[in-house]
Structure 1
């Protein structure tokens, strides 16, 4: 399949029962400003572009939301337990982006989409949610060209912040995406 635009990605996900079930399950939590993001979206696109017939296993399925009124990590763990009780076969990870800026010493985020925009790589800065009438919505703060071109590059925040170069480069090394998806190209911060 050729993926040219956001509509193609949305169609791809809509036709994937497993992905739609995950989105429906996440929606049951009724979280403010929620998204299923990162590798959940990126891996699907790369699997299709590589012609894989089997889904590449995910280390986790990231559900993010934004609630500045309750930033207790214990709440996130309780939400994960709820998701596991609905579907124990999914490696759920739930994070409130209202507190996650503290993890990497960044300025506070204003929303989940703002947090997604400030993930380390542009190809990871992707999220899906269900709107009214279960309309599938894709956010891609840095566009979709990098994920379609299978080019990993730092997001602007990581590119501009020398303090965060180590985080980006460490993730690139640890994730080693090109081992699974051989067409993936990595742009290192020194090259960007």
Structure 2
């Protein structure tokens, strides 16, 4: 049960451990450094690449194990056209060329425009990238990191970090995302059998 050694600690203790692991993970260090140079408004590296790296560290898995991509959010409501977002996506593809994993870039100011067609339900119009993180299907996945103006790591974790350090995937019922919660939970258990998935 050594993988649970940080479960139940205070948020500040868990925050220090979390950011320490992130800062020691070469893939994340490079992704964050490049994201900072890309300098998109209100940017955040979010979700899987972060919590999967924590689980890899705590279970002795190799760097990058089980990680599909790096999700990079930004928020720009000055132009909500797909063309504007696509231009950023293409620029980012060149910027992140050579990174070990693909980087998926999405403007969180536009999510409410395409979400209903893709998922069959409405989505609120977010005010910033951090608000988008609060609407993830699982509270465990709701985590983001960026660099501040001085290059220091800044954490966004609206539900805290204990679910991550407890290897527990907990539903976030703010929206009807049961299918996503269950699908991601099943995939995670295939890579990290230590995980428990709480039912919707």
1:98 to 99, 109, 126: 109
Matched, 1:169 2:186: no
Residue equivalent to 1:87: 96
Change (3 A) 1:50 1:57: same
Residue equivalent to 1:31: 40
Q: Secondary structure at the match of 2:126?
A: coil
Q: Secondary structure at the match of 2:34?
A: helix
The count of corresponding residues between Structure 1 and Structure 2 is: 183
Q: What TM-score do you get using the length of structure 2 for normalisation?
A: 0.83
Residue equivalent to 1:68: 77
1:118: how far off? Answer: 0.6
Change (3 A) 1:92 1:107: same
User: For 2:72 and 2:153, how far apart are their aligned partners in 1?
Assistant: 15
User: For 1:58 and 1:164, how far apart are their aligned partners in 2?
Assistant: 21
1:183: how far off? Answer: 0.5
Q: What TM-score do you get using the length of structure 1 for normalisation?
A: 0.86
Q: Do the aligned residues in 2 keep the contact of 1:122 with 1:147 (CA within 8 Å)?
A: no
Q: Do the aligned residues in 1 keep the contact of 2:53 with 2:63 (CA within 8 Å)?
A: no
Unpaired runs of 5+ in structure 2?
Answer: none
Matched, 1:140 2:157: yes
User: For 2:194 and 2:43, how far apart are their aligned partners in 1?
Assistant: 31
Unpaired runs of 5+ in structure 1?
Answer: none
Runs of 4+ in 1 over 4 A off after TM superposition: none
Change (3 A) 1:126 1:91: same
1:9: how far off? Answer: 0.7
2:53 to 44, 54, 69: 44
User: For 1:60 and 1:35, how far apart are their aligned partners in 2?
Assistant: 14
Change (3 A) 1:73 1:59: farther
Residue equivalent to 2:198: 187
